[in-house]
Structure 1
């Protein structure tokens, strides 16, 4: 068996060390003590021991008793376990085993996650036989999803629903099976690769932000421990065996104490005050905060919740639930939280007969600003760095044809969910097409010597449904930031249009990239990413000025698309060119830009040219560019869906 890195060996993972557990380790431990918290989402840069700590968690959890031979890890103390393998006799054998850590790969299919019915036996023999999925294996354990932000939205919905309900119902063509699905859901993600939708983010009980330490001594210690583990995994783990055992015993004691921890009405009111003051939407934040405070009190060995428990609970359960703008990162200013709580030595349950102490008023501070991202230096001198106005609802631009990319909400595609459009052989993704399966099997029943009323099926009879839904696309912005665009008012309108299109891309689950051109060259200002938040930050700092190398911008766009299609052949790009159509840099700039445009057109990309020209005297060069690109031509004001509606109404 592979030796895993010990939980206490991770910096911040040893409760006996000075400073105790850091937020990441504490959130994992609290969720293990009280699974009703709803799991943990860990957000942070790559290389910060997120996966290492999660995988080590199962080693420090107390073992569990299960019904021997049951595929769903039923608890033998339950009077009626929710298991398709039951019912079990009163004297059923009991087995003790470690808590499982089940990893769900990003590319997992729905059948792999939920389980499936053996269709051949269900249709041919009339026997319902359920093949359990990953959620069944994770029951009473830990379900770990690395890069959860890259998991298909409908799978994330299924995971979170199962985690909240504690059960899972699998339905396949009128066959239904229900089993218990109580697990601690842990997700890790790098925000640079894209954010979770707010609706999904809210469903995680706790969220923590992690980053690598900046102290050279701490960094050196982390490297020293890793090198020692790689050189002698067993010997290194042995040095931390005592710490792991003490941590396991403390978790077991907290689990036993949990039902006896008192949460007073005064503490509940204080939680409500904090959530209201921090603009937390809904009541899920209040509930999670209460459960976390109780779990933290049990972890500290107390039988009643105090102010310190409330402070920890609010810090872990509320930052990602605050009302914020679409591109704002989750966060909370701890000074603001301190202003909402009395000192730590103050009793959270004051004497009801005495006057209530006056607590400090909130300081009105906003949420913490996201950390600065490293940005490429602009090319040449800058003459304009104006910001964008508030984003508006942008009109929908789509890629022509029908694709097969990852699930999203923009362009038509063959997907595993959506409208059923037909049927095909069973070796493709999709639910069973029952009618087409029976029709394929019908001509062969005589040769198969059918007896009675049952239809005899063979694997090559099965037909899967072909469904059409929507896919996500790569939206590549090619932005003219030359001197002709540098007028403050024009650049503000252009940046507002891009911000609006970015917001649209965020809602449709697209990846985005930004190419800019000015001076004598083009540059990839933002590589393809799922994080439109980072794109929005880069947008605000785009400078403008210099000559207009339009051909270089188009050539660079073609190179970006070529590289992305090598990584993902199913990727279908949508090219959005924002320019006034001028070309002034290099030798024969107009002819070069037209050749570059024609070359892109030959690749068959779906392209939109947004004409940024303004004023009464217009040259119409952007329209000419659109013709060479075989692109849809859109004047800048018509990027707004409302403006387009007004134009249509005016023409009616």
Structure 2
């Protein structure tokens, strides 16, 4: 957890000094650069969320932005960065006398994923409080980020309690601290920039909406562009200072352009026609609330100022929509962010002024203020609206990554291995040997929570009971090693009887390490929900498999809402495979489920043994995260000698490890063998039907059965 002022240190990987990689030297990330620069011009836009695969210069570009921001005038000695022209009357360091102030560089504050609540919001200075008897507040990262940049790498992995605090500060522009008898409020307005890899899980909708703009980044598939990236990276590693000096001219020009755009911004006019297009676009795409309209208007104003114009044009509105709306159109975690550009163009054209004003692409019908009619869209050069008279030249850094024609590619979606997975060995029954094409999933529904019994100590979440650093305080205990959150009352009680013997004088307490007591808190944890899905021929009836997929999707959605990790094992033919290693990305699970084909024998024992192996490895990686195995099957086992006996032995192996389990019985028809029930008894958990998965009694069934087994 660090607070850095530009030039921010950047690890070059060499023995030389750490130097910020120049912003203008970043290759192929023009959309990302534009979104960051718009926020530099107008911080009111609301920040940027950068989504993309690993190794695409997301963090490099964000850290480089801080060096371009103008200096910040502050009151000398104020820990909360008050503006001398209008100091905060409620500043904890105030009141401030009138004065000229000093100018310091804009800060970029990094919020680590594992930061504590005290580090984020600040806390009571316990040492001074207990030794001197005064209430002293120690500011946190929210105070340091005021009037600067708050950068959260891997923001989708941030703990829920930190997300809630961040949401409150971003919404109100102030941080409130109420704890240990201290009540402090201070201003905290910052440019929020987050990066994330969608493969590791999605953001909660509340936090997602707080980001003004979003950008999808991907590595270029163009050979020349990739070579240029490597060339510049190696040059920077070899001589960071020399590399930065070679780009100093471009950096200075860009810094001046930001300053000019900031000066121009108050004079930019948002006409009624552009405002009508903004409102119509948000209504057409059915975004929730009014924040999208406001963000689009602010982004369009910033785009016009960036292009050196005093009037917002249709291409500004179009570009603002492409940056502000995709992440606001998600209705559930299985929806990929995106925007239909043809539909956007139709909406803008339909709501344009009858007498012109420029079409969405700057084509005929313009009023002379737009581009020069070369057919380029507003993002034609990737640097913003423009291409018309008076528009400054684009940023250096190479062509756009999207121009390589690989946008939206999904690796691994097809290939020769797909057919091979469905092949059956000789001798299989004809009705089982053929692989059925994937059946569509039924609509997901709301399920009751399947919780793990007992009290754990895993990562914060919303599924099972846990003790940890978060939640409601239920008691105090003597810490083992370094104390966690201090229980102030219990600490004072432990120290009070010894004050006479310790010859206390004055108002403070004389404390010893053995007096410290830490709070015991009970909250909720996230679990590892491991799905073991039967994809054999006995499950291949299209209607049944569609219902099964709908049930698994419903459980995936529940896992997303409860901040679980998920994994998926499928079994068919002669073996089981890990279709999805444990991850926080429910999108990945939904995608694998959609491609799941059926057919072949039912190696139930192989599926359970593979689950046992996956859990064994995960326990070594994260021993505090408790698992819940959800087996989706009709209970039939075929293939090999004594398939049912082998499946029962595998189930008993899982039960012996204390793994909580539930079996979703997919058997249907007038004649039922009730094999899933027998399997559930071996696992020590309940068997429920697909219909019962919707019932209010599911949580009680799981808790009762698993508690009985544990006892």
CA-CA distance at 1:249 after TM superposition? 0.7
CA–CA separation in structure 1 for the residues paired with 2:332 and 2:188 = 34
CA-CA distance at 1:79 after TM superposition? 4.3
SS of the counterpart of 2:169?
A: helix
Aligned runs of 1:222-261 on 2, under 5 Å?
Answer: 222-261=229-268
SS of the counterpart of 1:202?
A: helix
For each residue in 1:53-81, what CA deviation from the matched residue of structure 2 results, as whole angstroms up to 9, or x when unmatched? 01111112222232333322222222446
CA-CA distance at 1:567 after TM superposition? 1.8
CA–CA separation in structure 2 for the residues paired with 1:642 and 1:83 = 50
Aligned runs of 1:29-68 on 2, under 5 Å?
Answer: 29-68=37-76
Structure 2 residue runs of 5 or longer lacking an equivalent are 1-16, 360-365, 368-406, 424-434, 702-711
CA-CA distance at 1:123 after TM superposition? 4.3
Residues 89, 462 of structure 1: alpha-carbon distance in 2 compared, 3 angstrom cutoff:
same
For each residue in 1:348-405, what CA deviation from the matched residue of structure 2 results, as whole angstroms up to 9, or x when unmatched? 79xxxxxx99xxxxxxxxxxx9753535737233224111111111122111211111
397-406 vs 634-643, which moves further: 634-643
The residue number in structure 2 matching 1:4 is 20
CA-CA distance at 1:439 after TM superposition? 1.8
SS of the counterpart of 1:143?
A: strand
The residue number in structure 2 matching 1:538 is 592
203-212 vs 112-121, which moves further: 112-121
CA-CA distance at 1:120 after TM superposition? 3.6
Normalising by structure 1, we get a TM-score of: 0.90
Query: Does 1:283 pair with 2:290?
Result: yes
CA–CA separation in structure 2 for the residues paired with 1:371 and 1:478 = 29
CA contact (8 A) 1:516 1:523 kept: yes
CA-CA distance at 1:160 after TM superposition? 3.0
The residue number in structure 1 matching 2:400 is none
Query: Does 1:621 pair with 2:628?
Result: no
CA-CA distance at 1:477 after TM superposition? 0.3
The residue number in structure 2 matching 1:187 is 194
Structure 1 residue runs of 5 or longer lacking an equivalent are 14-21, 350-355, 358-368, 648-652
CA contact (8 A) 2:333 2:586 kept: no
CA-CA distance at 1:125 after TM superposition? 2.8
Of 447, 450, 467, which residue of structure 2 is paired with 1:414?
467
The residue number in structure 1 matching 2:335 is 328
SS of the counterpart of 2:67?
A: helix
SS of the counterpart of 1:290?
A: helix
CA-CA distance at 1:620 after TM superposition? 2.1
SS of the counterpart of 1:413?
A: strand
Query: Does 1:213 pair with 2:220?
Result: yes
173-182 vs 568-577, which moves further: 173-182
CA contact (8 A) 1:120 1:459 kept: no
The residue number in structure 2 matching 1:405 is 458
CA-CA distance at 1:469 after TM superposition? 0.9
The number of residue pairs the alignment matches comes to 620
Query: Does 1:488 pair with 2:498?
Result: no
CA contact (8 A) 1:329 1:370 kept: no
CA contact (8 A) 1:637 1:643 kept: no
SS of the counterpart of 1:500?
A: helix
CA–CA separation in structure 2 for the residues paired with 1:136 and 1:476 = 41
Of 75, 95, 116, which residue of structure 1 is paired with 2:102?
95
CA-CA distance at 1:124 after TM superposition? 4.5
586-595 vs 179-188, which moves further: 586-595
CA-CA distance at 1:644 after TM superposition? 6.3
CA contact (8 A) 1:478 1:557 kept: yes
For each residue in 1:298-352, what CA deviation from the matched residue of structure 2 results, as whole angstroms up to 9, or x when unmatched? 2122222222221121111111112534411121011111112238994279xxx
Query: Does 1:23 pair with 2:31?
Result: yes
Of 456, 475, 478, which residue of structure 2 is paired with 1:425?
478
For each residue in 1:438-486, what CA deviation from the matched residue of structure 2 results, as whole angstroms up to 9, or x when unmatched? 3212211221334577654445433332111111111100011111111
CA–CA separation in structure 1 for the residues paired with 2:245 and 2:550 = 58
CA contact (8 A) 1:432 1:464 kept: yes
CA-CA distance at 1:641 after TM superposition? 2.8
CA–CA separation in structure 1 for the residues paired with 2:288 and 2:229 = 39
CA–CA separation in structure 2 for the residues paired with 1:556 and 1:69 = 61
The residue number in structure 1 matching 2:160 is 153
CA contact (8 A) 1:74 1:82 kept: no
The residue number in structure 1 matching 2:303 is 296
SS of the counterpart of 1:512?
A: strand
The residue number in structure 2 matching 1:586 is 640
633-642 vs 81-90, which moves further: 81-90
Residues 459, 162 of structure 1: alpha-carbon distance in 2 compared, 3 angstrom cutoff:
farther
The residue number in structure 2 matching 1:361 is none
The residue number in structure 1 matching 2:427 is none
The residue number in structure 1 matching 2:382 is none
CA contact (8 A) 1:428 1:464 kept: no
Residues 255, 574 of structure 1: alpha-carbon distance in 2 compared, 3 angstrom cutoff:
same
CA–CA separation in structure 2 for the residues paired with 1:98 and 1:490 = 63
CA–CA separation in structure 2 for the residues paired with 1:238 and 1:209 = 30
SS of the counterpart of 1:341?
A: helix
Of 372, 376, 379, which residue of structure 1 is paired with 2:421?
379
CA–CA separation in structure 2 for the residues paired with 1:572 and 1:429 = 24
CA–CA separation in structure 1 for the residues paired with 2:560 and 2:484 = 26
CA–CA separation in structure 2 for the residues paired with 1:80 and 1:457 = 36
Aligned runs of 1:548-563 on 2, under 5 Å?
Answer: 548-563=602-617
CA contact (8 A) 1:393 1:641 kept: no
CA-CA distance at 1:517 after TM superposition? 0.7
CA contact (8 A) 2:132 2:507 kept: no
Query: Does 1:347 pair with 2:357?
Result: yes
Aligned runs of 1:129-140 on 2, under 5 Å?
Answer: 129-140=136-147
SS of the counterpart of 1:601?
A: helix
The residue number in structure 1 matching 2:112 is 105
CA-CA distance at 1:617 after TM superposition? 2.0
RMSD across aligned positions (CA): 2.6
